Amino acid sequence: MTAIDRGIDRAGVVAVIGTGTMGQGIAQVALAAGHPVRLYDAAPGRASQTADAISARLGRLVAKERLTAADRDAALGRLVPVADLADLAEAELVVEAILEELGAKQELFTALESVVSDGCLLATNTSSLSVTAVAGVLRRPGRLLGLHFFNPAPLMPLVEVVRGAATDEAAADRAHATVAAWGKTPVRCADTPGFIVNRIARPFYAEAFRAYEERAADPATLDAVLRESGGFRMGPFELTDLIGQDVNEAVTRSVWEALFHDPKFTPSLAQRQLVAAGRLGRKTGHGWFDHSEGAGRPAPHTAEPCEPPAKVALHGDLGPAQGLVGLIEEAGIPVTREPVGGHLALPDGTRLSLTDGTTATGDPFAASVRFDLALDYRTATRIALAPSPAATEESLRSAIGLFQALGKAVSVVQDVPGMVVARTVAMLVDFAEDAVARGVASPEDVDTAMLTGVNYPRGPLAWGHALGARWVRDTLRNLHQACPTGRYAPSQALIRRAAADERLL
Q: Is residue 35 flagged as an active site residue?
A: no
**Within a 10 A sphere around the Cβ of 480, how many other Cβ atoms?**
17
Query: Cα(490)–Cα(475) distance, rounded to whole angstroms?
Result: 9
**Within a 10 A sphere around the Cβ of 273, how many other Cβ atoms?**
11
Query: Cα(130)–Cα(214) distance, rounded to whole angstroms?
Result: 34
Q: Is residue 160 flagged as an active site residue?
A: yes
**CB-CB contact of 113 with 139 (8 Å):** yes
Q: Is residue 395 flagged as an active site residue?
A: no
Q: Is residue 198 flagged as an active site residue?
A: yes
Which candidate in 92, 96, 148, 248 is catalytic? Answer: 148
Peptide bond into 152 cis (omega under 30): yes
**Closest of 230, 248, 160 to residue 372, by C-alpha:** 230
Which candidate in 92, 160, 238, 433 is catalytic? Answer: 160
Angle at 222 between CA 319 and CA 474, to 5 degrees: 30
The residues facing 17 across adjacent strands are 40, 96
Give Cα separations from 500 to 10, 113, 317, 480 (angstroms): 47, 49, 22, 22
Query: Cα(396)–Cα(393) distance, rounded to whole angstroms?
Result: 5
Orientation of helix 460-467 relative to helix 469-482, angle to 10°: 90
- Backbone torsions φ then ψ of 336, nearest 5 degrees: -95, 160
Query: Cα(42)–Cα(131) distance, rounded to whole angstroms?
Result: 22
Which candidate in 125, 127, 229, 478 is catalytic? Answer: 127
**Closest of 204, 229, 209 to residue 219, by C-alpha:** 209
Can you list the positions of beta strands (E) in 110-220?
A: 121-124, 144-149, 158-163, 185-190
Which candidate in 198, 229, 353, 411 is catalytic? Answer: 198
Query: Cα(450)–Cα(336) distance, rounded to whole angstroms?
Result: 40
The SS3 assignment for 309 reads: coil
Query: Cα(49)–Cα(46) distance, rounded to whole angstroms?
Result: 5
Query: Cα(198)–Cα(165) distance, rounded to whole angstroms?
Result: 19
Q: Is 483 exposed, middle or buried (0-12, 13-18, 19+ CB in 10 A)?
A: middle
Residues with catalytic function? 127, 148, 160, 198
